[in-house]
Amino acid sequence: MQGKSQSSMPFDQQSSDKREVDRKKQFFLNNIAKYCDKCGTPYKPSDLKIVQDSDMSSIIHFKCSKCKSNNIASFVRPLGISSRSPVVSDLQVHELTHFAELPPVDIDDLADIFDLF
C-alpha cells in the first residue's frame, strides 16, 4: 500500500485491506479493551484507530463514543502482552499517527537542539 492512494488500488485490494483492518480491530476489542475504563461503555470498532502496526507490535488509540476519554494501548505480538493507559493530551489521533511515523530522534538531533540554547 506504500506509495499508492487507496483510491488508485483495485477494488478487491481495498476490500481485502478493509477486512484485515476490521479483523485486527475486533481482535484488539476482544483481547485488549472491551469497555471504556472511565464510564464502562462498550467500545465499537469505529472507536479504535490503529496508530502503528508491524509484525512485532501495534499501537492502538481508543476513544469512547460516550464520555470522549482517550486511551492508548500497545500490544507486543511475540509475547502476547498488552498495556493500556489514559491519554492526557490535546493531540488528535491523526497527529499521533503523524508523529509515530516520523523517524526516531538520534543523538545528533539532540546535540543540534542543545546547541540552539
Nearest to 18 by CA among 4, 1, 33: 1
- The number of distinct structural domains making up the chain is 1
pLDDT given at position 11: 53
pTM given for the model: 0.67
Convert the chain into a string of H (helix), E (strand) and C (coil): CCCCCHHHCCHHHHHHHHHHHHHHHHHHHHHCCCECCCCCCECCHHHEEEEEECCCEEEEEEECCCCCCEEEEEEECCCCEEEEEECCCCCCHHHHHHHHHCCCCCHHHHHHHHHHC
Q: Which pLDDT tens digit goes with each residue over 47-99?
A: 999 988 888 999 899 999 999 888 888 899 888 888 887 776 677 778 877 88
Q: Residue 3 falls within a domain, yes or no?
A: no
Q: Residue 1 falls within a domain, yes or no?
A: no
How many other CB atoms are found less than 10 A from the CB of residue 42?
Answer: 13
Q: Which pLDDT tens digit goes with each residue over 8-36?
A: 555 555 677 889 999 999 999 998 889 99
Which residue range(s) make up the domain with 39? 9-102
Q: Residue 92 falls within a domain, yes or no?
A: yes
Q: Residue 24 falls within a domain, yes or no?
A: yes
pLDDT given at position 10: 57
- Is the pLDDT at 116 greater than 50? The verdict is yes
The span from the CA of 82 to the CA of 67, in Å, is 23
- Is the pLDDT at 6 greater than 70? The verdict is no
Binned at pLDDT 50, 70 and 90, residue 1 comes out as very low
Average pLDDT on 104-108 reads 89
Q: Residue 15 falls within a domain, yes or no?
A: yes
